[in-house]
């Protein structure tokens, strides 16, 4: 059977990694290509690049970066951020990205999910959802968590999968940045209501949190940024522990 996946996430602004990368031994910690190569050699199963560039005219920089990563790195990677059309996705896939993740643009125009799945196949369409538990109800947020919607997390994910999303990247805003662990109850429920892989995001602080999200949260993959960037968790140690816990990983 397929293994659990460990996915470092790199935030990219104007073609450079941002949000604190503190890597010993890198010539330039801001260079996404160098960091991606490092992670792939350390045993990352996949990578996610999130473009947080505000302006549209900087997209060309992202395409160039994607091509440089694809040249260097021999594991799959997903690109997200600012994707709102079939043309955007075509350019990224042609540059060498394996998958794309869509978030706000899918809420504003759900038909985009169908269009992308029909054109490129469900396997490359990751629906990213940011949600917050407010008085017991999980509400979907947009624009990096700044805009609240009326959408319920579970209804929206179900609709997204029905429309053709091949994978769900769920970030719990309650957990994100806390280092208190992933939102395992919600993750488990997502795994029960849809039949596509679920990537857990938000809250990673310790190796045990990864064990918990795979066991209790039934997650298929776990994504994290700072614990990897600041070397608080070494991927190889993490995967060894997961294996000792009886979870299937690629070592």
Partner 1 sequence: MKIVIIDYGAGNVKSVQFALERLGYKAICSNDAEVIKSADKVIFPGVGEASSAMQEIKKQELDKVIPFLKQPVLGICLGMQLMCQFSEENNTDCLGIFPVDVLKFNNDLKVPQIGWNVINNLTGPLFNDVKEDAYVYYVHSYYIPKNDDAIALTDYGLQYAGAIQKDNFYACQFHPEKSSSIGEQILKNFIEL
- State the catalytic residues: 11, 130
d(CA 149, CA 142): 7
In this complex, which beta carbon is closest to partner 1, that of residue 164 or of residue 181? 164
Q: Is 114 in the site for partner 1 (CB under 8 A)?
A: no
- Helices (H) and strands (E) counted in the chain, each on its own, are 10, 11
First to last CA, the chain: 15
Question: What 3-state class would DSSP assign to 121?
Answer: coil
Residues in 221-240 that interact with partner 1 by CB under 8 A: 221
Residues in 130-189 that interact with partner 1 by CB under 8 A: 166-167
What's the closest the beta carbon of residue 143 comes to partner 1, in angstroms?
Answer: 27
Single residue of 31, 45, 176, 212 touching partner 1 by CB under 8 A: 45
Q: Is 75 in the site for partner 1 (CB under 8 A)?
A: yes
Q: Which of 21, 5, 29 is nearest to 232 (CA)?
A: 21
Q: Is 88 in the site for partner 1 (CB under 8 A)?
A: no
What's the closest the beta carbon of residue 155 comes to partner 1, in angstroms?
Answer: 20
Instruction: Quickly tell me which residue has 């008085």 as its tokens.
Output: 135
Residue 150 burial by Cβ neighbours in a 10 Å radius (0-12, 13-18, 19+): exposed
d(CA 137, CA 236): 37
In this complex, which beta carbon is closest to partner 1, that of residue 113 or of residue 151? 113
Q: Is 37 in the site for partner 1 (CB under 8 A)?
A: no
What's the closest the beta carbon of residue 4 comes to partner 1, in angstroms?
Answer: 8
Instruction: Quickly tell me which residue has 């769900």 as its tokens.
Output: 168
Q: Which residues bind partner 1 (CB under 8 A)?
A: 1-3, 5, 40, 45-46, 67, 70-72, 74-76, 93-96, 98-99, 118-124, 166-167, 195-197, 220-221, 250
């Amino acid at each position: 059977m397929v293994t659990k996946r460990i996915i470092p996430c790199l935030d990219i602004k104007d073609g450079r990694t941002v949000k604190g990368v503190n890597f010993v031994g890198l010539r330039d910690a801001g260079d996404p290509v160098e960091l991606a190569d490092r992670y792939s050699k350390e045993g990352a199963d996949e990578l996610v690049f999130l473009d947080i560039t505000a302006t549209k005219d900087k997209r060309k920089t992202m395409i160039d970066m994607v091509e440089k990563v694809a040249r260097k790195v021999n594991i799959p990677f997903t690109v997200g951020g600012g994707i709102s059309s079939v043309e955007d996705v075509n350019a990224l896939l042609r540059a060498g990205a394996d998958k794309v993740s869509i978030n706000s643009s899918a809420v504003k125009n759900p038909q985009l999910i169908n269009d992308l799945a029909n054109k490129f196949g469900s396997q490359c369409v990751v629906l990213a959802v940011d949600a917050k538990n407010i008085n017991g109800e999980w509400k979907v947020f947009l624009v990096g968590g700044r805009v609240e919607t009326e959408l319920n997390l579970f209804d929206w994910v179900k609709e997204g999968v029905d429309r053709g999303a091949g994978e769900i990247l769920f970030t719990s805003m309650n957990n994100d940045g806390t280092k208190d662990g992933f939102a395992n109850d919600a993750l488990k429920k997502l795994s029960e209501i849809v039949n596509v892989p679920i990537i857990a995001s938000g809250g990673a602080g310790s190796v045990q949190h990864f064990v918990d999200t795979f066991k209790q949260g039934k997650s298929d993959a776990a994504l994290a940024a700072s614990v990897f960037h600041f070397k608080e968790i070494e991927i190889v140690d993490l995967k060894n522990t997961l294996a000792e816990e009886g979870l299937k990983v690629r070592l």
